[in-house]
Structure 1
Amino acid sequence: MSVERQAKPPHLPPRWFIRLAWSVHRGVYRVFAGRVGLWRPRANAWGTLRLTTTGRRTGRQHSVIIAYLEDGPNLVSLAMNGWGEGEPAWWLNLLAHPDSTVDLVDGRRLVRGRAATADERMRLWARWREIDTKLDAYAARRPSETAVVVLEPRLGTPDTSRGN
């Protein structure tokens, strides 16, 4: 008689290390005035963008660097909080104030954030799973479903470029 073993959850570094890595990444972005720290997605890899939201309680601008994929004109991210408990502050801010700004390698865009729903969520989750084969195992560490965040271009608002 065989005994099935539960799959061991994938390793995550300690929370302090994850937070340190985020701080270093933001610091590199600031030191190099945005010339380093952002990149475009590639065939089987995600890119990074800088998202600026309006604080739900303070009304102040807050920026964070997050991973993303492109889906036509939309940018897609995961509200994962380093696979820890709770929702990331940037996602809570977007829920309260969906209009935000993203900085990409090729310039700035005005966007509106929302959660992907139903079939769209399943399709976009599958795209993330192609890049990260452990995605479902990481998501299982969280007590709630991880939101798939869609950043849509705001209609009637032109993109501004840094003129790189």
Structure 2
Amino acid sequence: MDAKTPHPLPLSAAQKQIRDDVPLVCAWALVNAFAIAGSQASLYIAGYTHLACIQIQSSSILPCLWIGMLCCAATQSAAAALALLLPCHRRRARRALAYLALAVTVLFHCMYAIHFWISLAAYPGGYIFGWIVYTVVICYMVVRDLTCLTDLLRGDAWLGQAVV
């Protein structure tokens, strides 16, 4: 054999590594869970220091929504952490937990949108910055949720690699 032709049997065959989408979806759920907890902590700090904030006195649905969002945070983080900690050979259980984490994340985003629209409907004249920023944030969350759902529905692969 001359030096220019490759050996017919290479020492190691390059194999495609298939990566599942569960860590991606679980990371999205964990980021949302920590965002819920952080925003709730900042609201408690703002209430404790008596900052001038908008308060809707007549609505009793907003505290209920916050309690529901905190319950979503606990469920999201538990499902995502369990899905990440399960071994890779338990693929069905991991995917089921990833679907649960994503479903609770979507539920949180619906509650967040309701909370946002109730808060802004109470003060219809002002806060154009809030309308723009939070509408963009809600649209981003919806797109990200749909992306994670399509990744999970497509199969156990990124970038179009199918599991055989």
Is the strand fraction higher in 1 or 2?
1
Is the helix fraction higher in 1 or 2?
2
TM-score normalised over the length of structure 2: 0.27
TM-score normalised over the length of structure 1: 0.27
Structure of higher RCO (CA pairs closer than 8 Å, 6+ residues apart): 2
